[in-house]
Structure 1
Amino acid sequence: MESILELFKPSTFSVISNGLILTLKISLISIVLSIVFGTILAIMRNGKNPIFKWISTIYIEFVRNVPNLLWIFTVFLVFQMKSTPAGITAFTIFTTAAMAEIIRGGLNSLDHGQTEAGLSQGFTQFQIMIYIVLPQAFRKVLPSIISQIVTVIKDTSFLYSVIALQELFGASQILMGRYFEAGQVFALYGIIAIIYFIINFAISSFSRKLAKKWEQAAE
């Protein structure tokens, strides 16, 4: 018991908090960029321009079917980036393809008559997409987007094993050099698991409440 209590030192939580901050930083930046780029690719793939459609299709299908671990490794070695920018870049590349297909599903679920109605009211195609189509598409696929966000947060744990980035999971590995008894190891992994759970459960709960609020507003 005393050995487990040794975990609860300010220095231990300092390492964990630094890892958590880095995890959230990488996740937030890559998710925001992925949603932006994914939206563009989804629109391109659903558009009428054959060149844009071809480019977006190749990107989405190729990237989605290559493991994210390989993208992390490739970006780090090929582009000679530092660990944090490499992690953000790799996750953005991979998650953009996933987000593109999620958002495209939302776009395909909408009634095309809304575009015609918008045109009849004098809206341009761009205005219809921004003000009418995309907001509805995002509402429909919010659960899938949230699921992908949770996946990104969890998958940042790959970064330590591939490029030695000391995110949340990586922080636990660093601490293993200090606490190596069986009880300490289980307790440390338990703390890390609880942190991941709290973050992802909070995100999922918020998305459910938001989706329910939108449904009530639509009635």
Structure 2
Amino acid sequence: MDDILTVLTPTNLLFLLQGFELTLFISLISIVLSMIFGTILAIMRNGKNRFFKLIASIYIEFVRNVPNLLWIFTIFLVFQVKSIPAGIIAFTLFTSAALAEIIRGGLNAVHHNQVEAGMSQGFTSFQILYYIILPQAIRKMLPAIISQFVTVIKDTSLLYSVIALQELFGSSQILMGRYFEPSQVFTLYLLIAAVYFLFNFALSSFSHHLAKKWENATD
């Protein structure tokens, strides 16, 4: 019991909290930027311009099929970007490709008759997208976007092993160097697992609740 209490000190908990704050900061900034670039990529891939469509398709397929770990290495070592910006850029590049397909699926799920109805009212392409397509598409794709946010939060644990960034997992690894008893190590890992689980489970539950609520609303 004493071994466990030596791990759960206010100083250690504050240190882990600071790491978790960095995890959320990187994840939130990455997902917001990815939403912007992912939307642009989705529109380009859905558009009629063959050049833009080809560029978007190449980017999405190439980035999605290369491990995110490689992008982190490339941004940090090849382009010599500092740790936190490197993490944000790498996750934005990778997540944009995944979100582009989610957003494209949401846009394609809106029935074409509604686009034609907007055209018959004299709406421009931008107005049709903004007032007709996006409001309906968001309902269909938001649960999947939240699930992608969960994935980003979990994958930030890669950053410590690659660029020694002290996010939640990285902070736990630093603390791990101070403790050697199996009960201490187990307590620390259990605490980190609990933080990841509780936060991500809450997000996932919210995503499922939202999807069910919207599904019932359309019935």
1:158 corresponds to which letter in structure 2? L
Gaps of 5+ in 1: none
Counterpart CA distance in 2 for 1:72 and 1:130 is 34
2:197 corresponds to which letter in structure 1? F
Counterpart CA distance in 2 for 1:181 and 1:61 is 46
Counterpart CA distance in 2 for 1:217 and 1:155 is 34
2:100 corresponds to which letter in structure 1? A
Aligned counterpart, 1:114: 114
Aligned counterpart, 2:128: 128
Aligned counterpart, 1:12: 12
Q: Tell me how far 1:210 sits from its aligned partner.
A: 2.1
Aligned counterpart, 1:66: 66
Secondary structure of the 1:6 match is helix
1:72-115 CA distances to partner (integer Å, 9 max, x unpaired)?
00000122111100000000000000000111111222211111
Map 1:68-217 to 2 at 5 A.
Answer: 68-217=68-217
Task: Note the aligned Cα RMSD (angstroms).
Answer: 1.2
Secondary structure of the 2:178 match is coil
Deviates further, 131-140 or 50-59: 131-140
Deviates further, 134-143 or 66-75: 134-143
Decide whether the 8 Å contact of 2:143 with 2:210 is kept in 1.
no
- TM-score w.r.t. the length of structure 2 is 0.96
Q: Tell me how far 1:50 sits from its aligned partner.
A: 0.8
- Ranges of 4+ aligned residues in structure 1 off by more than 4 Å: none
| Alignment coverage as a number of residue pairs | 219
- TM-score w.r.t. the length of structure 1 is 0.96
Gaps of 5+ in 2: none
Identity %: 72
Counterpart CA distance in 1 for 2:115 and 2:199 is 38
Counterpart CA distance in 1 for 2:39 and 2:134 is 9
